[in-house]
Amino acid sequence: MEQLKSKLNELGYKEIIDVNEMAFMAGDSGVYVYVKKVEEGTELSPELVIEFNYEAMELDPFPNFAWITNGVNNVYLNVEEEKSISEIPPSVNMDKSAIKKRELTERDKWSNRMYSELQKRFDAIHEQIYASGDNVNNSNDAIDEFCKLIFMEEFRLNNSDYILREGNLSGRKYSEIFHYSYLENAKDKKKVVEEIREAFKEIKNHEDYVAIDDEGDRIPIFPKDDYLKLQNPNIYETVMRALQDLGEIEVNGVKRPATLLDLTGDVLGRVFDVLLRGKYENKGGMGIYLTPRQVTEAAVEMVMHDLKKQGSSKIIGKDPKTGMPTLRILDPACGSAGFLIKALEEIKNYMLYELAGNKEHHKAQFKEMLNHCFVGADRSSGMVLKARINMALRGALKAPIFQTLNSLSNTNLKPESFDVIITNPPFKKGGISIKDKDGKYLIEELYSSDIDEDGNNRMSSDGLSLGSKPNNKGIWRPVNSVDPAVLFIDRCLQLLKPGGLMMMVVPDGILSNSGDQYIREYIMGKKNSVTGEFEGGKAVLKAVVSLPQETFKLSGAGAKTSLLYVKKKEHPGEKQGPVFMAVADEVGFEVKNNVEVPLGNDRNDLLKIVEAYKKGIPEDME
């Protein structure tokens, strides 16, 4: 511990307050750092780090920063913002007046304490469902069934007086059927399970959870034929007790039984997200894979930094005709909604804690934004379910996230209607081919629709062209096959409003292969050898961040990747400015035995890269 105290002393934090044998606080002029050492070999897992952040929030004086170490790996946090940082900043030259301190209520503190308890309960539930073999074949099936039961509890709490209307249950109160005490005291437990399964069929498409897309189509949270597969009464009893028996909470001096609705902030959503990331079984190739949290956070923070710089009206603007929020953020290959949830959290923090003005007004407006501003699509119904539940646990009950056979051709996504697109689409060299019917349509028709009959590219703001390629005479002709990532670039540029921002994970070949130069020129134009200016192109290139091979090792994808960040041109003559270039050699984890092992913030180059980007460093950073 003396070494840690000495290090903080060097950084200017000379006041020491011992908390216990393994933890202390160091301070300077009212700015404090909370430091904790855990046993060597302890993994600094996401759940441990979140728990540590919540632990720090309860201390008095309130620490601005926190540092947890196992002697080898280190994680540094901005406690108030609940974010990882690359290092503890020196106290000298720090503008102490600019440091915010959030006031925590007793309910906030109770919620933070419940985090680790719920994490343990959720893990145990998943293991019980998975181990039972009760109509579940793998870990992902177990997550899906647990999602349905979380949904049922959320519905019970939000609709406490709901009377069932269908079948044998007509006239009965839903909240009495879906309660652990009813099952616990029943003589015929299998009958109660059948009642719960029957109730699910009725409530699963309740209006409170039906989103509306841009075409006006209804998007329920569950597929039409979905049902509760679990039949074992013991599982239902365990799950309902875990979700419903949360002990007591004191509100305004009165004690009462606590419910999930009493949890403040994003505690419940974070518990679910950590469970999802920890238990999800990735599938290689062009299958389904969750983007690592470190990449998700870096991508969203860079975009949100620029969005906020455009002024509050960009974020909180409303359509004067409809009164609806105008901000639209899309992930057309959303998986479990990782990018959308990080964007939601960033906007929430901005509106509730950073933006000046009437806080109650901002809170009400953010509530409106939840069910309109964050749009997602995915081809997997299982991922859409996880995404919808993930968003619902953060208050977005009607988030327009929907299943689509193909985001590349779905007509529900309208051209030039999104301010921000952040995505990690599927990619595979030659993955779309004219040899199959759908591929032929995409390449020769849809993604060559902006090529005229003479082979000229019209370069329309909302056109699609990358199903074709120019020959050595500059005549564009359809290709035989193409990486879906190329078409996703074209599609996202089409979907962006002029001036919109796009951040995408792309295979490095698109950025470096000589055969893909036409794609780069399509994005940012050709360089004039005389003036040095880029001419033509649909976008302004803002940044490229190279990611290490390790990043997507779990997905089975061997391709080296980068984050490509562009702004769609507001007008054809908009000039290309300096480009931020950076290389991340490490992203905070390594893959061992098909599992991501955390390495801490010291070995996550993305944290320093994001900080450098925010400071506006234009030169290469490696």
pLDDT in tens, 180-238: 999 999 999 999 999 999 999 999 989 999 998 888 889 999 888 899 999 999 999 99
Structure-model confidence comparison of residues 289 and 481, the more confident one: 481
In a domain, 462, yes or no: no
Q: Is the pLDDT of residue 533 over 80?
A: yes
Residue 611 has pLDDT above 90, yes or no: yes
State yes or no: pLDDT of 284 exceeds 70. Answer: no
Q: Is the domain of 235 the same as that of 342?
A: no
Domain count, the chain: 3
The angle subtended at Cα 121 by Cα 118 and Cα 123, nearest 5°, is: 110
In a domain, 458, yes or no: no
Same domain for 296 and 236, yes or no, is no
Residue 474 belongs to a domain: no
Task: Return d(Cα 332, Cα 485) in angstroms, integer.
Answer: 12
CA atoms within 13 A on the CB side of 113: 14
135 shares a domain with 45 = no
For residue 466, being part of any structural domain is answered with no
pLDDT value at 10 more than 70:
yes
Domain boundary among 98, 121, 144: 98
Confirm whether 447 is domain-assigned: no
pLDDT for position 102: 67
Residue-level pLDDT at 617:
59
pTM of the prediction? 0.91
Mean pLDDT, the chain, integer: 90
**Does the pLDDT of residue 49 top 80, yes or no?**
yes
* Residue at a domain's end among 252, 275, 298: 275
Give domain status of residue 437, yes or no: no
In this prediction, residues 574-590 reach a mean pLDDT of 93
Q: Where does a domain end: 73, 98, 123?
A: 98
Give the pLDDT confidence of 53-102 residue by residue, as tens digits. Answer: 999 999 999 999 999 999 999 999 999 889 999 999 999 877 766 666 66
pLDDT at 98: 62
- Closest to 100 in 3D by CA, of 59, 75, 60, 63: 63
Q: Is residue 8 part of a domain?
A: yes
Q: Which domain holds residue 577?
A: 283-429+483-615
Per-residue pLDDT for 357 more than 90?
A: no
Q: Does the pLDDT value for residue 361 go beyond 60?
A: yes
pLDDT at 620 over 80: no
Q: Which residues pair with 568 in a beta bridge?
A: 539
Predicted local confidence at residue 138, as pLDDT: 86
pLDDT reported for residue 380 = 87
Q: Is the separation of the CB atoms in 20 and 36 below 8 Å?
A: no
Q: Are residues 367 and 510 in the same domain?
A: yes
Same domain, 406 and 553: yes
Same domain, 309 and 405: yes
Give CA–CA dist 39/4, Å, rounded. 15
| 89 in the same domain as 176 | no
Residue pair 492/568 in contact (Cβ under 8 Å)? The answer is no
The band of 274, judged by pLDDT with boundaries at 50, 70 and 90, is confident
Burial class of 594 by CB neighbour count within 10 A (0 to 12, 13 to 18, 19+): exposed
- The maximal CA–CA distance of the chain, rounded, in angstroms, is 87
Are both 201 and 260 inside the same structural domain? Answer: yes
Please indicate, yes or no, whether residues 261 and 300 belong to a single structural domain of this protein: no
Alpha-carbon gap, residue 273 to 330, rounded angstroms: 19
**Shared-domain flag, residues 26 and 57:** yes
User: Would the CA dihedral through 328, 333, 337, 339 be positive or negative?
Assistant: negative
Q: Are residues 390 and 530 in the same domain?
A: yes
Closest C-alpha to 556, from 584, 594, 597, 511? 594
What is the percentage of the chain residues whose pLDDT exceeds 70? 96
| Residues 287, 271 share a domain | no
What CATH code is carried by the domain that includes residue 340? 3.40.50.150
* 585-604 tens-digit pLDDT: 999 988 887 777 889 999 99
The CATH number of residue 57's host domain is 3.40.1350
- Is 405 contained in some domain? yes
Q: Which pLDDT tens digit goes with each residue over 96-132?
A: 666 666 677 888 888 988 998 999 999 999 999 999 9
